[in-house]
């Protein structure tokens, strides 16, 4: 009777190990796929020529700090996903422990990258004073031809006027340029470029942040599954040695 119960318990334990093992394996494949998507989107945002020019013109390279961290994080995911798959299939405790640690590292990088990205891309974030500084400098130096071209391009394409609005030109005793007016109504744009540009950056960054946070959640699940598998393997070893 005791042997029968022990055999039944061991069988259930082995089934549980198989279930956790293949769940971890499949999740690793999903993480690899999401990591690949995150890398592609982040790299595209980082290297897009037209977008890069905007960042350079406005001197707001801080926007790229979070993107760079997430690119490094997604590259690390490529390697760690294979480690996770291998450790799950081998049922090797040390490999699983290393995998749990690497998942924690990826989680931290993803969270840090996302926080930094959102701190320099959203409305009412640290990016706004930087945009205001750049726009004010462009308006002050708009008598230079190159600066005037950049200022015109920004205001026409974004549909904004000045840093905080048309009053910036009045306060700096500068004439209101034609690109500050709606081509249909002739009225000056209500919003300044600080608001419009931060909304523009936010719309792009939010997708990257969403992918990164989803990946972070999966890293936590993978780490927990690795630790559960380690404990299950230990119990299996104890059961076999009895």
Q: Cα(163)–Cα(230) distance, rounded to whole angstroms?
A: 57
Token pair, residue 171, equals 């306060």
**pLDDT given for residue 8 in this prediction:** 62
Cβ 36 vs Cβ 78: under 8 Å? yes
Q: Cα(187)–Cα(161) distance, rounded to whole angstroms?
A: 11
Cβ 113 vs Cβ 53: under 8 Å? no
Cβ 138 vs Cβ 91: under 8 Å? no
Q: Cα(80)–Cα(82) distance, rounded to whole angstroms?
A: 5
Q: Cα(7)–Cα(4) distance, rounded to whole angstroms?
A: 5
Which residues, at least 6 apart from 76, have a Cβ–Cβ distance to it below 8 Å? 102, 105, 106, 109
Q: Identify the three-state secondary structure at position 188.
A: strand
**pLDDT given for residue 208 in this prediction:** 94
Identify any residues that bridge with 188 across adjacent strands, giving them in sequence order.
181
Main-chain dihedrals φ then ψ at residue 183, nearest 5 degrees: -65, -20
**pLDDT given for residue 3 in this prediction:** 46
Per-position pLDDT tens, the chain of length 242: 444 445 666 678 778 888 888 999 999 999 999 999 999 999 999 998 878 888 888 889 999 999 999 999 999 999 999 888 888 888 888 999 999 999 999 999 999 999 999 999 988 889 999 999 999 999 999 888 888 888 888 888 888 889 999 898 888 888 888 888 887 787 888 889 999 999 989 988 999 999 999 999 999 999 999 999 999 888 877 777 66
pTM of the model: 0.87
Token pair, residue 236, equals 């299996």
């Amino acid at each position: 009777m005791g042997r029968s119960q022990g055999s039944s318990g061991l069988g259930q334990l082995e089934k549980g190990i198989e279930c956790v093992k293949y769940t971890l394996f499949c999740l690793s494949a999903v993480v690899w796929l999401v990591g690949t998507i995150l890398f592609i989107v982040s790299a595209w945002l980082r290297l897009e020529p037209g977008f890069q020019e905007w960042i350079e013109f406005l001197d707001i390279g801080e926007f790229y700090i979070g993107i760079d961290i997430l690119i490094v994080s997604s590259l690390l995911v490529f390697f760690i996903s294979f480690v996770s798959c291998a450790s799950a299939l081998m049922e090797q405790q040390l490999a699983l422990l290393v995998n749990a640690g690497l998942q924690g590292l990826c989680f931290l990088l993803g969270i840090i990258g996302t926080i930094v990205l959102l701190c320099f891309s959203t409305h009412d974030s640290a990016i706004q004073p930087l945009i205001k500084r750049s726009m004010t400098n462009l308006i002050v130096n708009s008598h230079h031809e190159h600066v005037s071209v950049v200022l015109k391009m920004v205001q026409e394409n974004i549909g904004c006027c000045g840093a905080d609005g048309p009053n910036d030109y009045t306060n700096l005793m500068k004439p209101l340029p034609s690109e500050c007016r709606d081509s249909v109504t002739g009225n000056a744009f209500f919003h300044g470029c600080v608001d419009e540009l931060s909304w523009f950056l936010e719309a792009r960054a939010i997708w990257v942040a969403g992918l990164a946070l989803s990946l972070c959640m999966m890293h936590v699940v993978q780490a927990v599954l690795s630790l559960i598998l380690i404990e299950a393997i230990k119990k299996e070893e104890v059961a076999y040695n009895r």
